Structure 1
C-alpha cells in the first residue's frame, strides 16, 4: 500500500479542489494563511485522500452548475496566490 500524497506534492488543481470543498467563501476574503489552513484541515478530514474532495466537486458541479465555474476559478486563483507566498523568489 502506498502512502497518500502530502500537500506539498499536490498540484494547484488538486489544492483548488480541496479548497472548493472547504467552508471558505470568496466573500470571506481569506488571507493566504487562512486558505492554507482550510486546505490542510479539509485534507486531513479526508484522511489524506483528495479523492473525497474530487467527488464533492463533481457533486457540486452537478447540483449547482450556475455557480461551479466561478467558485472553481476563485479556488484556482486563490490557491495560486496563497501558495506563491510560501515559495521563495528565485
Structure 2
C-alpha cells in the first residue's frame, strides 16, 4: 500500500506544472500533488506520465529523477524523530 501511495504521489507531481527551478518547499509540493490527484485522478496522472515518457523520454527521465528526489525529501521531513 505504501508504495502505491508513493507511486501515485510521484505521478501527480510529475504531471504538475511545478518546476525544479522553482525550488519548491514541502507545502508547495504537497499542494501540487493534491491538486493533480483531484484534477486528474490516479488514472489521469498515470496517463500523463506515460504520454510524456512516450513523447519525450529524455526529458521525462530527468523530471522523474527530480520528482523522486522531492518525494524523498518530503518523506524525510515527515518522518518522526527517532529518540
Instruction: Give 5+ residue unaligned stretches, structure 2.
Output: none
User: What residue number does 1:3 align with?
Assistant: none
- Whole-angstrom CA distance in 2 between matches of 1:65 and 1:9: 23
Cα RMSD (Å) of the superposition? Answer: 1.8
Aligned length: 81
Normalised to the residue count of structure 1, the TM-score between the two structures is 0.79
Normalised to the residue count of structure 2, the TM-score between the two structures is 0.85
Report if the CA contact (8 A) 1:12-1:76 is conserved: no
User: What residue number does 1:30 align with?
Assistant: 24
- Whole-angstrom CA distance in 1 between matches of 2:55 and 2:49: 10
**Secondary structure of 1:85 counterpart:** helix
- Whole-angstrom CA distance in 1 between matches of 2:13 and 2:37: 9
User: What residue number does 2:36 align with?
Assistant: 42
Any residues of structure 2 matched to 1:2-81 within 5 Å, and which?
10-46=4-40, 49-81=41-73
**Secondary structure of 2:58 counterpart:** helix
Question: After superposition, what is the alpha-carbon deviation per residue over 1:23-61, rounded to whole angstroms, capped at 9, x for unaligned?
Answer: 101111101110011101111112xx3111000000011
Instruction: Give 5+ residue unaligned stretches, structure 1.
Output: 1-7
